[in-house]
Amino acid sequence: MNRVVITGAGTINALGHNVADTLEAMREGRCGIGALEFRDVDRLAIKIGGQVKGFEAEGHFNRQQMTLYDRFTQFTLMAAKEAMAQSGLEFHGELSAKAGVVLGTAGGGVSTWDANYRTVYEEGKNRVHPFVVPKLMNNAAASHVSMQYNLKGPSFTVSTACASSNHAMAQAFQMVRSGMSPAMLTGGSESMLCFGGVKAWEGLRVMSKDACRPFSANRNGMVQGEGAAIFVFEDYEHARARGAEILAEVVGFAMSSDATDIVMPSKMGAARAISGALQDARINPEQVCYINAHGTGTAANDKTECAAVADVFGPHADQLMISSTKAMHGHLIGGTGAVELLACIMALRDGVVAPTIGYQEFDPECALDIVPNEAREAPVEYALSNAFAFGGLNAVLALKKI
């Protein structure tokens, strides 16, 4: 089995349009959540989100590209560009034939669906633009990345709701670890912040109207975000041979399914994914210093997640740090695990643990060190990243400092 390292990272999200700005915001505990700005927002009950502001497709893409790229694809390509530039990799010949891109998204081109349904239903038009289908399909972003960077190996999109990115990155990890490919692009993207996207979530009554406060006793729901993060996963020997900068090592992962309920999380399912990731990485629970929590800020998730961590880690659960960065960038749904992996890289590489901001009241059901409100300097040797999706599909990644 090959060792797998991360040699490139890129992002665009509510905290920043690149990795440096995003990590600075995480260090400073800045909140990227604010008033939503789009058509018909006044008809929504939920009017806040972690929206990407100040980003215009013009200038980054030509006219033909803009007619083909939904916002989730635009985010993906912006993040991929940054990750590829950092990695210094170019795909030619045999490397190109073996390398691919595996991405997560839950909704794909939601705003394309939304805008065109509006055209035919609300405005009564009987004609839509011919690129509606290639623009909205869930694999559009992965396909455009493959075309942009000459990736001719395995490429596909994983859609497992809020665990999409972690499942996707787990696939890419497996491909590099097994020797199937020397390098893979991976991560995820989401852009559901449009009228129909938020309206659908409102229906479930799990959204907060004011803030995302993970683990806080007065938490009242999740807040949606949008954006993307893309990484280059590369065989360690391949990366070393070309003198690439290595950000962190991916050492293990596990997936599990609750097989119980379509929305309610299960402590057992989450615990099996966490302990499975430790086993796969061949590490002891005591070696884990930091967990980037799923930490959605809903009543159900946060207490279930804390109970699962307590079960897996026993007394060590009180020693480790666990924070949810969703209070800063919002819940990016299918893209969330990718953006949250940046917090793990920051912990491992820089020794800075991102805080859980918005924390106000102690909850005895979430009695762990959740790194409240302020980032903390601490050496972190191993970190985990949790994602627990609606539908009971869980995916946990294990990373190591390098």
Partner 1 sequence: MSIKDKVIDIIAEQAVLEPSDVSMDSTLESLGIDSLGLVESIFAIEEAFDITVPFNANEPEQSDFDISSVASIIAGIEALVAEQNA
Query: Cα 83 to the chain's mean position, in Å?
Result: 15
Name the strand (E) or helix (H) holding 13.
strand 4-13
Residues 287-316 that bind partner 1 (CB under 8 A): none
Residues 64-83 that bind partner 1 (CB under 8 A): 67
Window of 82-90, 124-132, 296-304, 393-401 that interacts with partner 1 by CB under 8 A: 124-132
Residue 1: which of 143, 180, 125 has the closest Cα? Answer: 180
Give me the amino acid identity at 305: E
Is residue 61 near partner 1 by the rule CB under 8 A?
A: no
Segment lying near partner 1 (by CB under 8 A), choices 46-54, 88-96, 123-131, 223-231: 123-131
Kindly state the tokens that stand for 318. Answer: 């009180």
Active site residue 162: yes
Q: How far is CA 369 from the centre of its chain?
A: 22
CB of 135 to partner 1, least distance (A): 11
Q: Is 129 in the site for partner 1 (CB under 8 A)?
A: yes
**350-389: contacts with partner 1 (CB under 8 A):** none
* Closer residue to partner 1 in complex, CB, 67/260: 67
* Polymer length of the chain: 402
Q: CB of residue 96 vs partner 1: minimum separation in angstroms?
A: 23
Catalytic residue flag (residue 331): yes
* In the complex, least distance from residue 129 CB atom to partner 1, rounded to whole angstroms: 6
Closest CA to 170 of 4, 392, 380, 346: 4
Closest approach, Cβ 130 to partner 1, in A, equals 4
Residues 276 and 396: beta-carbon distance below 8 Å: yes
Q: Which is nearer to partner 1, 85 or 133 (CB)?
A: 133
Binding map of partner 1 across residues 131-170, x = CB under 8 A, - = no contact = x---------------------------------------
Q: How far is the CB of 128 from partner 1 (least distance, A)?
A: 8
Q: How far apart are CA 250 and CA 359, in angstroms?
A: 30
State in angstroms the smallest separation of the CB of 351 from partner 1: 49
Distance between CA atoms of residues 284 and 278, nearest Å: 7
Alpha helices in 61-212 (DSSP H): 63-68, 71-87, 93-98, 110-117, 132-136, 140-149, 164-177, 195-203
Q: Is 209 in the site for partner 1 (CB under 8 A)?
A: no
Beta-carbon count within 10 A of 130 CB:
9
Q: Are 386 and 306 in contact (CB under 8 A)?
A: no
Marked catalytic residue, from 31, 162, 289, 344? 162
Residue type, 65: Q
> What is the size of the binding site for partner 1 (CB under 8 A)?
5
Is 130 a binding residue for partner 1 by CB under 8 A? The answer is yes
- Is residue 205 close enough to count as binding partner 1 by CB under 8 A? no
Among 1, 127, 243, 262, binds partner 1 (CB under 8 A): 127
CB neighbours of residue 122 within 10 Å: 9
Residues that bind partner 1 (CB under 8 A): 67, 127, 129-131
What residues act catalytically?
Answer: 162, 294, 331
